[in-house]
């Protein structure tokens, strides 16, 4: 499979178990297609079944369950809004446009940052894939019944597949996510080190602009860890529980280090010269090198190899508050990995 990594998947994609997800998607669609076609009623709406199933797939069972509930909730919202408008205005291009717009409006009221694709899809579905009742009339109720039946079938299939894959796959899933955070932060530290060494700060605004993405990734990965921690379907012994607590602690330490590095970038952008001293530049460079060593140790754990050794911080590297805090966090992560 190495050729597949080279041709299709970059390192970040492999860290997030993309190959496993592709296999899971293949298995899910195959099972969904077979089951859907075997059930005459559901077979009329394979799109809802397969679309809902794909949106529910997740490495963590609890997250998958939450995604499934969100889809059902969004489907009900879209169906109720559209059903009421269709009952009042009938099946016309005007009612379709009004239904989608009102669904969008309500979706944004619930979460102003983004609209629910599932709710909007349901609104469009209710106006375009109309079902007929026993009397031969267009029926919002019959349309909704088909939509929700197919969706629930897809969600249940995805939850079962999620459970099976959580038992047999995704080894070192959380460690890979911590490695991703560590790699991202180390790259930013390397860029700052190069700017300090060359005394050129034109790119400092670009670097600062990339930090919100890193903070979002930390929050997302932290949420994944918490869901995994609460997942009732995952069996964990004492050692696995200890490792989970270490992973959670490493995520917290990396968040602190990200704040510290952002503060350094902010002060550099304001022209503060304290960080341009030769002693700070050399010590900061050593911090970046030690982060690379931490990455190597974590990578060894992911590949079931021995951790290389200690990552120690010298007293000369603690001459500022920022360096002292970075050093403490690096040593803390080192201890967590050393006794993993």
Q: What pLDDT sits at residue 260?
A: 92
Task: State whether the Cα torsion 325-328-334-335 is positive or negative.
Answer: negative
DSSP string spanning 280-298? HHHHHHHHHHHHHHHHHHH
CA distance 54 to 38: 19
Q: What pLDDT sits at residue 169?
A: 62
Q: What pLDDT sits at residue 3?
A: 52
DSSP E strand boundaries for the chain:
131-132, 138-139
The backbone torsions φ and ψ at residue 177, rounded to the nearest 5 degrees and listed phi first, read -70, -40
Q: What pLDDT sits at residue 85?
A: 92
Q: What pLDDT sits at residue 11?
A: 58
Question: Could you read off the pLDDT of 133-178 as tens digits, one per residue?
Answer: 888 888 888 989 999 999 999 999 999 999 888 776 667 888 888 9
Q: Which positions of the chain have pLDDT values less than 70?
A: 1-17, 112-115, 168-170, 233-239, 273, 308-312, 314-317
Task: State whether the Cα torsion 40-46-50-51 is positive or negative.
Answer: negative
- In the chain, what are the domain boundaries? 17-168, 173-338
Q: What pLDDT sits at residue 188?
A: 93
CA distance 116 to 97: 17
Find out whether 56 and 64 touch, Cβ atoms under 8 Å. yes
For 173-338, CATH number out of 1.20.120, 1.10.10, 1.10.3470, 1.20.58 equals: 1.20.58
């Amino acid at each position: 499979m190495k050729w597949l990594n080279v041709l299709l998947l970059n390192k970040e994609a492999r860290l997030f178990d993309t190959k496993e997800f592709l296999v899971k998607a293949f298995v899910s669609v195959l099972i969904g297609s077979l089951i859907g076609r075997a059930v005459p009623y559901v077979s009329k709406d394979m799109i809802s079944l397969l679309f809902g199933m794909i949106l529910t797939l997740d490495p963590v069972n609890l997250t998958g369950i939450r995604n499934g509930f969100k889809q059902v909730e969004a489907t009900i919202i879209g169906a109720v809004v559209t059903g009421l408008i269709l009952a009042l205005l009938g099946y016309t291009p005007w009612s379709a446009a009004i239904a989608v717009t009102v669904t969008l409006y309500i979706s944004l009221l619930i979460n102003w940052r983004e609209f629910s694709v599932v709710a909007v899809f349901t609104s469009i579905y209710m106006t375009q894939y109309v079902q007929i009742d026993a009397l031969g009339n267009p029926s919002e109720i019959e349309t909704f019944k088909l939509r929700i039946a197919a969706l629930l079938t897809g969600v249940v299939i995805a939850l079962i597949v999620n459970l099976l894959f959580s038992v047999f796959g995704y080894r070192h899933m959380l460690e890979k996510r911590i490695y991703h955070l560590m790699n991202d932060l180390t790259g930013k530290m390397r860029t700052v080190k190069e700017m300090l060494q060359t005394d050129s700060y034109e790119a400092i605004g670009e670097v600062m602009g990339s930090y919100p993405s890193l903070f979002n990734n930390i929050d997302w990965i932290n949420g994944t860890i918490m869901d995994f921690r609460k997942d009732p379907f995952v069996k964990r012994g004492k050692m696995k529980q200890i490792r989970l607590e270490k992973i959670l602690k490493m995520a917290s330490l990396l968040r602190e280090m990200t704040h510290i590095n952002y503060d350094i970038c902010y002060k550099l952008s304001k022209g503060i010269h304290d960080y341009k001293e030769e002693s700070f530049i050399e010590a900061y460079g050593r911090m970046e090198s030690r982060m690379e060593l931490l990455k190597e140790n974590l990578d060894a754990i992911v590949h079931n190899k021995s951790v290389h050794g200690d990552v120690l911080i010298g007293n000369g590297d603690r001459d500022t508050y920022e360096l002292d805090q970075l050093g403490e966090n690096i040593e803390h992560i080192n201890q967590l990995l050393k006794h993993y």
